[in-house]
Amino acid sequence: MFTSRAEYRLTLRADNADQRLTDRGIKIGCVGAERRQSWGDKKQKLTMARDLLAAVTGSAKTIAAAGLPAPRDGAKRSAADLLSLESVSFADIQSLWPELAVIPDYLHAQLAADCRYAGYVGRQQSDIDALRRDEAVLIPPHTDFTMVGGLSAESCDILQKYQPETIGQANRLPGLTPAAVVSVLRHVKRQQMAAKAALKS
């Protein structure tokens, strides 16, 4: 499978394949004892590292004094917050919080990537939850999909061709991305809100 065609691909990276798949492999019995032990050790270290990155915090003044981007709101930031910034490396935050030296070097790149993608992954999960929650939402007949913002020409063509009756049906159309379905869902909800407002006025 091409990653670019996967439905929810923000978490699909080579460096986290073990996190996504090893426990599943253990569950179905296709992971050997040595690999299971190795993964258990790494999983424990990852959990410890993530807890530590979230726990250590610094004031805006302390962060600025270390030459790192200080939050404009003056609030405290955790090591994980700073690591989510493109310009901040693991070495940068380790100079501010020496206690992070207990995190093994081979986890640095993986943890940095996790922190950088965290916000995007959270938004994607919200989209996934919205689609699952609103599968039964009706799409009005003869909806003009060209009026839906954020849709590609290809997505419009697919929707115009199949004319799905619900969000759930749209989500199962071949070639239609989850992002396109979310755009349709938002469009339908805006139309519903406009109709309710018109009835009240």
pLDDT average, residue stretch 76-94: 93
**Between 12 and 24, the higher pLDDT residue:** 24
7 φ, ψ to 5°? -65, -55
Give residue 121's Cα distance to chain centre: 1
pLDDT more than 70, % of the chain: 96
* Average pLDDT over every residue of 46-69: 94
Neighbouring residues of 75: CB distance < 8 A, sequence distance ≥ 6: 60
pLDDT over 90, % of the chain = 66
Dist CA 74 CA 71 (whole Å): 6
Q: How many CB atoms lie within 10 A of CB 145?
A: 20
Residue 74 φ then ψ, to 5°: 75, 5
What is the Cα–Cα distance from 143 to 187, expressed in whole angstroms?
A: 10
- The span from the CA of 109 to the CA of 89, in Å, is 9
**What residues does each domain of the chain span?**
3-132, 135-200
Q: What is the largest CA-CA distance in the chain?
A: 69
pLDDT above 90 (res 200) = no
Yes or no: domain 135-200 corresponds to CATH 1.10.150.570: yes
- pLDDT tens column, 112-131: 999 998 888 888 888 778 77
127 contacts 154 by C-beta, under 8 angstroms: no
Query: Is the pTM above the cut of 0.85?
Result: no
Confidence of residue 151 (pLDDT cuts 50, 70, 90): very high
Average pLDDT over residues 151-157: 94
Name the DSSP class of 101: G
pLDDT at 72: 85
